[in-house]
Amino acid sequence: MVTKGMRVGKYELGKTLGEGNSAKVKFARDIFSGQSFAVKIIDKSRITRLNVSFQIKREIRTLKVLKHPNIVRIHEVLASKTKIYMVLECVTGGDLFDRIVSKGKLSETEGRKLFQQLIDGISYCHNKGVFHRDLKLENVLLDAKGHIKITDFGLSALPQHLREDGLLHTTCGSPNYVAPEVLANKGYDGAASDIWSCGVILYVILTGCLPFDDTNLAVLCRKIVKGDPPIPRWISPGAKTMIKRMLDPNPVTRMTIAGIKANDWFKHGYIPSHCDDDDDDDASLIQEYGSEDEKSPDSPTIINAFQLIGMSSFLDLSGLFEIEKVSERQIRFTSNRLAIEVLEKIKTILIEMGFCVHKKYTMLKAIKEESIRTGRGGLSVTAEVFEVIPSLNVVELRKSHGDSFLYKELYERLLNELGTSSQLLT
C-alpha cells in the first residue's frame, strides 16, 4: 500500500486525488524541481484480474504521441514488481461533470470557449489518427486557469484498429454519449462518432442536462437513434444549429471538424490553441526521460537503474501488455562494446543483409523490400542502443512488420556478433 510521503523514483507521493476499479491517482512532487504531477498507480494483479491490461497499454501508447495544451500530458512511466506508475500532468480544477453539477449550465460565451478548446484537442487527435471513443463530461478536466484537458484514452483507437472496410467495430463508450452508428454494430467512423459525443457535451454545457436520457436502456437507445433532442428556447440560433448538425443520426451528413471550425458561431472570439508537438513521436518514454543532461545528438541514451530493472521480463511494460510474445516482436540484449561501436556494427550488419538504413541519433530504422526473385518477404525494424555505463549497453531490436524468419535471422546474427548471451533480456 502506498502511503503519504512515499517516494517512487524522484517523485514524493501525497494525497489521493481519485480512485477507480484498477487504479488510484495521487498527487506527487518532483523532489528536485518541485514541480507538481499526478501519478496514476496501477496494480498489475488487479488489471490482470479485471482483464483491462489492453486499456492501460492503449492509454500509455496513445498519450505518448499526444502533445497538445488541451490534452493531459504523460511525462514518464515507471514500474515496480507489482505496480505501474504513470506520471501525468497535474490538473487541479476537477472535471466538467462536477462543474455542471455544482454550478449548473454555463453561459453561451463561457461554454463556447470551452467547446472551442475541446474541438481543438479532438481535431489534433484525429490528425494524429487517434479516436477517443469515450468522450464525456467526466473525461474533460479543467486546469487552474479554467482551460480544458481531455483525459482517459483507455478506449481510444488508432489506424491499425481499423478493419478492411476502413471502419471501427468495437462497441464502446458511455450510453448517454455514444453515437447511433456505434449502437448499430455495423462499423463506424471514429471521427464522426467523436463529433457526436462532442455534440452531447456542448448540449450539456449550454443546457445543464443530457440531450438523450432514460432509465430504460432500450428507450435510451431508441432516442439516440432517432436524434432530434429538445432545444431550450434560450439557446441562440447559432448554437442550436451547431447542436442539431453535430447530433445528426446520419454520420455521413453529420457536421465534420472542418465544418465546425468554419461555422460563424464557433469562430466568435476563437483563439486556436498553440500546439507544442515538437517531439519525435517514435521516441520511447525511456529515451525521452532517461537523462536531463546536455548531450550531442549522437550520444547514446543513458538509462537509470530503475528503468533497466523495468526492462527485465518480470517488470517489462511491453511484456505485460503486448499480445505477441516479446521474442516475436522485440528483443533486448546487452553488449560490452562501446555504444558507438555497437551502433556502427548493427548498421554494417543491416547493410550486408540488404537493408536500407536510416540513422537518427542512437536509433536505426531499416527496411528490406520483398524480393520476388528469391521469394523472401520484406522486413521493417528499428534498433536502438541505451547506455547503462560506457562499457555496458542495452540493445533493443523491434520488428514493425514483415518476414518473421528474416527477423529471426537478423537478431540471431546480432546476438552472435554483439551480444552477451548470459545477459539476454527477454
CATH 1.10.510.10 fits 96-267, yes or no: yes
Per the listing, cell 527477454 goes with 426
Question: Which DSSP state fits 380?
Answer: E
Of 189-193, 204-208, 396-400, the one with minimum mean pLDDT is 396-400
Helix axes 190-207, 108-127, angle to 10 degrees: 170
Q: Which one is catalytic: 95, 120, 134, 316? A: 134
Q: What is the pLDDT of residues 325-354, one digit of tens each?
A: 334 577 877 787 888 888 889 999 999 998
Q: What is the pLDDT of residues 156-182, one digit of tens each?
A: 877 667 777 777 777 777 889 999 999
- Residues 232-260 have a mean pLDDT of 95
Spatial separation of the C-alpha atoms in residues 92 and 98, rounded to whole Å: 13
Question: Which DSSP state fits 367?
Answer: E
Q: Give yes or no: 120 in active site.
A: no
pTM score over 0.85: no
Other CB atoms within a 10 A radius of the CB of residue 136 amount to 21
Inter-residue contact 396 to 283 (CB < 8 Å): no
256 CB-near residues (< 8 Å, 6+ apart): 191, 192, 195
Alpha-carbon torsion (111, 73, 1, 317), positive or negative: positive
Spatial separation of the C-alpha atoms in residues 396 and 284, rounded to whole Å: 11
Superfamily of chain region 285-423:
Kinase associated domain 1, KA1 (3.30.310.80)
Q: What is the pLDDT of residues 81-131, one digit of tens each?
A: 788 899 999 998 889 998 998 989 999 999 999 999 999 999 999 998 899
- Of 58, 49, 242, 83, nearest to 134 (Cα)? 58
By residue count, the chain amounts to 426
| CATH code for the domain defined by 7-89 | 3.30.200.20
Task: Determine whether the annotation assigns residue 40 to a binding site.
Answer: yes
- Listed by start position, the domains of the chain span 7-89, 96-267, 285-423
Band of residue 305 on the pLDDT scale cut at 50, 70, 90: very low
Instruction: Provide the grid cell at 113.
Output: 470557449
